[in-house]
Amino acid sequence: MSTGSEPAPVEGAMLGMEPLDAEEAGVARAAHTMLATLVEDFMTLPLADVPIDRSCYGEEPAS
């Protein structure tokens, strides 16, 4: 099944993941394209000084 044309992600390969076959690679490329735009925009959001929320997700956040 695998064409071996695209390597598996490093951690995936450690777990025995096969290299991406042609269909998987097509999906991966499309996902990369969409994510690239979203991530580029997301990286502009200033988050360095945001306090870490240590409350449970089922509750209101601690101030």
Partner 1 sequence: MTASPQDLGLAEQAAAVGAGKVSPEELFAATAARAAVLDRETNAVCATFTGTFSEHLEQAGHGPLFGVPCGIKDMFAMDWRVPEDGTPVPAHTVGGGEAGAVRALRRAGGLPLLATNLHQLGIGTTGHITGRGPIRNPWDLDRCAGGSSGGSAVVVAARAVAGAVGTDAAGSIRIPSSYCGIVGLKPTWGAVPVDGYTGSYSTMGVVGPMTRDAGDCRLLATALLGREPAGARLDVPRIGIPRASHWIDVDPDVRARCEAAVDCFADAGAPVEDIEIAGSGHLTIAAIVSTGTERLPQLDRHWMETVLPHLHPSVRGLIKTRFELSANLVQRVLRYRSMLRRDVAALFDRVDVIAMPTVPTPPPSVDRPRAELPSGVTSADAAALHFSALANLTGIPAISFPCGLDRSGLPVGISLHARWGREDLLLDLAERFERLTDRTYLPPVDLDRRAPERVSG
Q: Exposed/middle/buried for 8, CB within 10 Å: 0-12, 13-18, 19+?
A: middle
Cα separation, 63 vs 48, in Å, equals 17
Q: Total residues contacting partner 1 (rule CB under 8 A)?
A: 40
Q: State yes or no: residue 3 binds partner 1 (CB under 8 A).
A: no
Residues 31-50 that bind partner 1 (CB under 8 A): 31-32, 34-35, 38-39, 41-43, 45, 47, 50
Chain positions contacting partner 1, by CB under 8 A = 1, 8-12, 15-18, 20-21, 23-28, 31-32, 34-35, 38-39, 41-43, 45, 47, 50-53, 56-61, 63
